Amino acid sequence: QVQLVESGGGLVQAGGSLRLSCAASGGTVTSYTMGWFRRAPGKEREFVAAITWGGDTTYYARSVTGRFAISRDNAENTVYLQMNTLKPEDTSVYYCAASRSSMVRTMSTFYADWGQGTQVTVSS
């Protein structure tokens, strides 16, 4: 079992950037495919990005491709989400999640461990 804690959220103007961090404990991120999801008020949770344990494969939602970048520092047991050119539509609570799958997964049902979330608000 792994515990995940997100940080780095905040308020930013449209066009700005934020970097989210997900610190893992009780396990190593090298044993998991890691993903970022988000949920806005009144909306369903949606996939944002994922990365395999070796970092060889990444995948992004169409809405963030070219703007967001997921990465991992296995030595620090930390996963990051660099968010650039932020839009008001990106406003959500962002969640870090871990999957036992060795493949990139985009459905939340494949992720068993979740962080508490960090709020990202993008003003227009």
The pLDDT tens digits of the residues spanning 62-107 come to 999 999 999 998 788 899 999 999 999 999 999 999 998 878 889 9
Burial string for 10-27 (b: 16+ CB within 10 Å, else e) reads eebeeeeebebbbbbeee
User: What is the rounded radius of gyration, in angstroms, for the C-alpha atoms of the chain?
Assistant: 13
Q: What percent of the chain has pLDDT over 90?
A: 74
